[in-house]
Structure 1
Amino acid sequence: MTTSFVLAGGCFWCLDAAYRQLRGVEQVISCYTGGTTPNPNYEQVCTGATGHAEAVEVVFDETVIPAEVILDAFFTMHDPTQLNRQGADVGTQYRSAMFPHDDAQREVFEAAIERASQWYDAPIVTTIEPLGEVTPAEEYHQDFFAKNPTQGYCLAVAVPKANKVRARFAEYLR
């Protein structure tokens, strides 16, 4: 059974790199969602004025990897206690947010937040927001880490996040 989640947790390059290493993840699409500007581009989203978040749509096969693992990996790879930022990436475009397709998915997201709240000392600030329009990011953002493995940001930020997921979810690695 194929399912997709739209999730935002800082720079989409990091989420993309972490999810692509998991068995059962069929596709990861870097995208923009949660804003008001139709068909925004990267430069517009970077200003913070569009209201969009950098996000990923994770398409996965629930017969290979449970939805709970996809969501627990999300809460492992980023810090959901940071409001409108992840490390040095600051602005609403880097917020921690989940965008459900329907009420059933909203309930799954709420349960994931509750589970993850046990792992952090500070309160989780991840929001659950209406999905709205999802605009795929430009092609050069898709699978960015694989195309740019020696890029400084990837080495300093994406690799440690991917490694946290590798360590915690080793049984699901490709």
Structure 2
Amino acid sequence: MKTSRTVSLLLSATLAIAGAAHADTGHHHADSGTAVGQPGLMVDVTRTVKIDMGDNMRFTPANIHVKQGETVRFLVSNSGKLKHEMVIGSAAQLAEHAALMRKMPEMEHDDPNQVTVKPGKNDELVWQFDHAGTVDFACLEPGHYEAGMVGKIIADPAKAAAN
């Protein structure tokens, strides 16, 4: 299909420009790593943060503090009646992906920086915050991002060891 090929080419170009070439075999729409983090391993998890997604188009909590170096397990619950997702990325990545989702609302995901949760269900996402800084997260289901379903994760700098 021409549309599929065009979208595939656009995504490939976006990934190449972003320097997001990864060696795994999953279908990725954007760089799964960010300036402050990357997918983490369950064995390295230091704590669990619960996040609720609701049909009021909000995350609870919407602002989360972590520590640089921490690996966090996000337990993501959908208390609504609509499908929601949590996608971690830069504001630019999220805005670009939201635009693609509006054009292709049935797009399936298999990215380590996101989790899609059906109504009344839970899922998890493990993320390592290897740098200090701020990273965004959002629901990119069509219309949800535009309705304000966004949040921020602030990775506070690790304290320097005293000599």
TM-score, normalised relative to structure 2: 0.27
Tell me: higher relative CO, structure 1 or 2? Use CA pairs within 8 A at least 6 residues apart.
1
TM-score, normalised relative to structure 1: 0.26
Bigger-Rg structure (1/2): 2
Q: Which has the higher helix share?
A: 1
Q: Which has the higher strand share?
A: 2
